[in-house]
Each structure stands twice: as structure tokens, then as C-alpha cells.
Structure 1
Amino acid sequence: MNLFKKRKYITVSNLNLENSKDKAQQLENTSNIPEGMWVKCEGCGKVLYKKDVEKKNKICIYCGYHFRMTPKERIELTIDKGTFEEFDKDMKASNPLDYPKYEEKIFKMEQKTGNNEGVVTGKGKIQNEDTVIAVMDSNFIMGSMGTVVGEKITRAIEYATLKKLPMVIFTASGGARMQEGIFSLMQMAKTASALGRHNESGLLYITVLTDPTTGGVTASFAMLGDIILAEPDALVGFAGRRVIEQTIKQELPKEFQKAEFLLHHGFVDKIVKRDELKETLGRIIKLHSDGE
């Protein structure tokens, strides 16, 4: 296969079709999709009009595939309108190991995502129930957990403990951030310790596993929830599939490390579709509320 072969990019003006479904059908038969207007579903391969996907909370209308969301989109979907207050918005990463071009990479991610780091934390109401929330950003260096991610999540947990509030974390991560080495790995213990104190105070902690949740995040706060929810078909695991297969010299099941597989084996309490997630979270929080 010639990777450097020139390809013809199809644009909407080339199509001259009557409606978006016809356009989408023709686009499905091409290897390239116009950027900005159309997106291709990774679940069924259908080409979808981007605005239609956004109106449906980034869920494919054909197969139900859940596209990845930004923290802003997640918060707007989950938190009652006008109630969100962000924590530690200006906290930025340093370069503790003097890793080459790390500052440049952070700057590019800031420009791309509009966030200073790979997690957004804050407080708000979910169906009128006060809640502290953390939402990881898979677009910011693949949601990797560095010192700032760990510190922001820890501070949010400590605030929830102090104010006697439930904690909800939406996980999405490729694992620990290699550019920060051992400093990144230390965040696993720090966040787990903060959650331990939160738990000792008799408070509720819910994790929502979204695609993908892997590595050190899975091995720490992602799997420590009192109740663990997951979005459909989310990838959840520690080591990569190929690494495990090469280690144990066995072929793993096709559905291995999917949310449904984890539910079947008792690692997840419930798989919840995105459209039902706010209602589910609100109901769980209300059930655990002391009624004050």
C-alpha cells in the first residue's frame, strides 16, 4: 500500500446531491471526509452530519456509538444550568524532569482544547443536588495524568470531604504522563489517599468510566468508586491488549476490556447510556442524601 499516494478529497460542493443522507452515503464510499461538517462513526462506519451528532449528545443515530466529549460538553450535559463553579482554573503544569519540548506540547494542547490541563474540576448541582465533579479531557495529551491532573482531582476530593458532598469523576485517560515520570505515578497514591479520607467521612463517590480509561488512572481512582458506572462500549483496562497477549501467550476474547465485559465480571455496577446518565446520577445521589 502506498501511504504517500495522492488522494482526492471530496467536498460538499463536489457532491451535488439533494439531501444530507445521500451526501453521507457517497462520503462513506470515500477514504477521506471533509473536515468540520461530517464525522465518521467508529462503531458502524456511517458518515454523519456533525451538527446532528452534537444535537444527539454525540451519539450515533444508527448504532448508538458514543463519541468522545469535551469537559465543557460533559458538564453542560450533566450539571444543572447555571450552577457550575470551576476550581483551580489557572493551574498549569511545570516540567519537573526537563523533558524536551514538554512546555511546547502543553502550549499546543492549551490552544487546541481551551483548557490548561487534562481535567476540569468544580462544583454544581445534579438534579438540584450539590455535587463536586471532575471531568477528564481525552483531547489533552490523551487525558494523561500528570502532577496537575492529580493535584486538581485531589483538591476537588478534599473540598468534597470538607463540605460533606458527593464526588463524581468522569474518567478518560491513556494513563500516567510519561513526561513527568515518577511524579506522575505519585498521583495514584495521592488521589487514592484523598478518596480514602472521603470514604471514612461516610461520603458517596461515583466514577463514570468513559472511552478510554486505561493505565494508572484505572489502577487508582477510576476503580475506587462506591458505585462504578460506564458508558456503552467504553474501553477500560490497565495494560494494552497486545502487551497482555504477548505476556500470557494467549489470545484474548474479542470483547475483552470493554465496559460490557467488565460488567459481566463484576468490575462495573451498571452501563448507562449518555442520555440517561444525568437522571441516573441524580437518583443515586438523592438516595444517598441525608435530606438536608
Structure 2
Amino acid sequence: MRGADRWALAARRPCGEIFVDVNPVLTLARKHPRWNRFPIRGMFALADSLIIGVKALSISGGISLEDVVESEADEPVVRESCDGKIKGERAAPVSTPQIAIALVIAFGLFFGLFVVLPAALAHQFDGVIDNTVVYNLIEGGIRITIFVLYLAAMSLIPDIRRVFMYHGAEHKAVHAYESGAPMTVESAAKFSRAHVRCGTAFVLIVFVVSILAFSLMGRPALALRVLERLVVIPFVAGFSYEIIKFAGKREDSRATKVLMAPGLLLQKLTTREPDEAQLEVAILALEAAIGSAPDVAVAVKV
């Protein structure tokens, strides 16, 4: 969970405790205020989110695998046991090179699957369809289809389904907070697991905006077309960020509901109904991010 000036992670340890870790948000835009301007601020906001995501995955992965690490390692590396006894050294934080490598790999997979592959498949229509707009509509349709099939396939993996349950818990907790409802499991459970500012909706908007952007670029040779998309995608993402930001401030308007309906519908694939234990974790993470929980790493007994 990310707040205005800090982000928090909560993860349930194998023994049942919930580990909460709070970190300051050190955004690129804060370091360089000139970057916090339309239309480029969205690109840097996205970069900040990706960096935080990599760090959070590293921490939560280490927490969830504590028992495995303890049993398989020659020397114990578990941070602290649930009985409070230190059993090894604290794991080293994710380094900048590790974050960079992870982001490069993630972007490479995204670009290959959702840019290069759709462009290559749409290339088969060269010489058949002359209208550039129609051609890009076909390419965009292929891209969205691949995305939906990818999400559907991922949802078949048990561990990913569990991640999607936590995703739903996150949305429910945020809904409860934004509506002023009590921050309890029972209260949060009543809310929708879809949210207008979800990353799933963001990716879908990126794909739709890219159809319009690519239509303005003509239809050069395939290799040049792919290169153009590589250059333009960050700007498309930045503009899509502005759309999400605008919609988030006007969630109750009819226009926003129509605009965001496809993204909300797609969240049926990327979220699942969470159980009470998952809602508990999500609420603790949110409370830590907004400042109603300690701003240090703690283990909360449940």
C-alpha cells in the first residue's frame, strides 16, 4: 500500500504473525520537481510504482519462505522467529542493480508479449487492409486479446489465484477507508473488490490510448514500427496515468463510470474474493501507509 509520503507492506509469516514494514516514498518527482509536470510526470510515477513493487515483492517473498530458507540453508538466515529469538542476520535489502535488472526483464517481457507479438501478427494484414486506423484497431484488438488470455491463464495457477485474492483484499480495504467506514475485516468485506485506480484498468487504458497514438504514426516497415512503439509507449503510459488520476477524482460521475467500466470488468480476472485473514493483512498495510500504524518494521501477533 502506498500513502502520500510512505509505502507499507504487510505479509503473513509462516507462523501466523503479520510482518509490517514501512518505508518512505522517495519519488523521482520529489527529487527533480521539473519532472512533476504534465505530460511526463506519469512516466516517472509509473517508474516509482515499479521500483516499489520490486522491493515489496522481494520483502514479502522472503517473509513467506522463511520456513523454507531455515530448513534448507547451511546457516540460518531467518530474520526473527515468532518467539522473538534472533535466528540469523537480517536479509540484505534489494540493491539498485537488482532492481534495475528486474525492471529491464519485466519491461522486456511486457514489450515482447504485448507490443512485438501483436505487431507481428497484425503485420499479416499488410497489403490486405489499407486504412491505417482500421489496421491499428486490429493490432490493438490483438493486443487486448493476448492480455485477457494471459490473465485468464495466470488465474489458473493456484499461487497466482492467491495473489489475486490479496489484490481483492487490497481494493476492499481501500474502499472502506475512502468511504469512511470502520477499518475492520467485517466492514471491508462488504465492499467491491474492483477499484477504478487499479493497475489492471491502467494497463487497459494504455492499450486503448496506444491505438490512437499508433494510428497517428502511419504504417512503416515492421522493424521500424516496433522501434517507434518502444519510444512512444512511455509517453502513452504517462498520458494514461493522467486519465486514471482524473477518473479517480470523479469516480461518481456517469462519464467516469462509462470510461472505466471495461477496466472494472477486467478486474474480475485479476481479483478474487479474499478470506478474512487476507483482509486483515490488507487493512494493516493500509493503516501503516496512511500513518495510523507504527512507522517501523513490526510483527503483529494475531
Greater relative CO, 1 or 2 (CA 8 Å, sep 6+) = 2
Does the TM-score normalized on the shorter chain lie above 0.5? no
- TM-score interval w.r.t. the shorter chain? under 0.3
Given the two structures, how large is their TM-score scaled by the length of structure 1?
A: 0.25
Q: Which has the higher strand share?
A: 1
